Structure formats: C-alpha cells, structure tokens
Structure 1
Amino acid sequence: MAELKQKDRDALPESNFAFEKQRKEPLENATHVRNAIARFNQVEGVTDDERDAAWKRIQGAAKKHGVEVHEKSWREIGKTHAAAKKG
C-alpha cells in the first residue's frame, strides 16, 4: 500500500484530500483513491454536503489516476457489492 509519512501528509494541500477540512482520505495516487472509496462511509463528523463535495473530489482523482468507479453516488457505496452477493 502507498502509505504517506506524516511529514509528507502534513505538506499536502487540503485540496488533495477527499475531506478537505478534516484532512481525511488523501487522493495522491490510485491506491489512495481506492482506499478513500472503501473507507468513505467510515468518516465521521461530516455533513452530507461535505460528503457530496468529497465524492466529487474522489471522482476527479479516480479519473486522473485511472481508477474505475462503479458507483454514481456515495450513497451507492457498498450496495452494489451486497446486491451482487445476494444474486
């Protein structure tokens, strides 16, 4: 996994995080983008508006880093896999 050292993470601008104010879920590379999607619903203390903004940043980073995103909205995260397992 592409882990950021604390010094490098602290040096990143807020715009390089899915959740800018909280500086959560960096979007520096494809691995980070996939992790941001996987952990999206675990981020606490954010509003739906902040989630909407974070999702847009994730989508932009996914396109930049060549990560395929199946969900159209953050509200779909986890639902497509659960539906596939039931079928």
Structure 2
Amino acid sequence: MAELNAEKRDDLDKGSFAFPKQRKEPLEDATHVRNAIARFNQVKDVSDDERDEAWKRIKAAAKKHGVDVKEKSWREIGK
C-alpha cells in the first residue's frame, strides 16, 4: 500500500475517501480499497445513510482499481 503520511492525506480532496465528511478510509489505490472494506465496520460515529454512500464510493473505487467485491451491501461484510 502506498504510504499516506499526514501531509499526503491532507492533500487529498474529500472525494478520495469512503467517508468524506470524516475524511476516513482513503480510496487511492487497490490496497486502500481492500483496506476500506476490511475496516468498514470499525468506522465509528457514522449513520447508516453515510455507510450506504460510503459503500457506493468503495464499489466505484473497487471497479476503477480492479478489486473484486463479492458483497452486494456493506451489511454483508464479514458474514
């Protein structure tokens, strides 16, 4: 995974994150996308609506970076 130090992370626009309001889970490359999926249920203080929107962003980033996502919904993660 490409290292995202604080400076690089701060330079990313909000659209580069699964959760842009909170600037959580960057989606810069395939490794970050896989990490965002793996850590999805660990993100705190977000609503189900925010999770729905984040899942859409993750699915789009996964397609862009060639990451296979088997889950149809974030509610299926880990099941």
Shared fold by TM > 0.5?
A: yes
TM range (shorter): over 0.9
**Unaligned segments of structure 1, at least 5 residues:** 80-87
What TM-score, normalized by structure 1, do the two folds share? 0.89
* 2:48 matches 1:45: no
Aligned length: 79
What is the match of residue 13 of structure 1?
13
Deviations 1:13-64 (A, max 9, x none): 0000000100000000000000000000000000000000000000000000
CA distance in 2, matches of 1:17, 1:4: 12
Could you tell me how far 1:5 is from its partner in structure 2? Answer: 1.2
Match of 1:25 in 2: 25
- Stretches of structure 2 lacking an aligned partner (at least 5 in a row): none
TM-score, normalised to structure 2, is 0.98
* RMSD of Structure 2 on Structure 1 (CA): 0.5
Larger radius of gyration: 1
1:73 lines up with 2:73 in the alignment: yes
Give, in whole Å, the separation in 1 of the partners of 2:63 and 2:3: 21
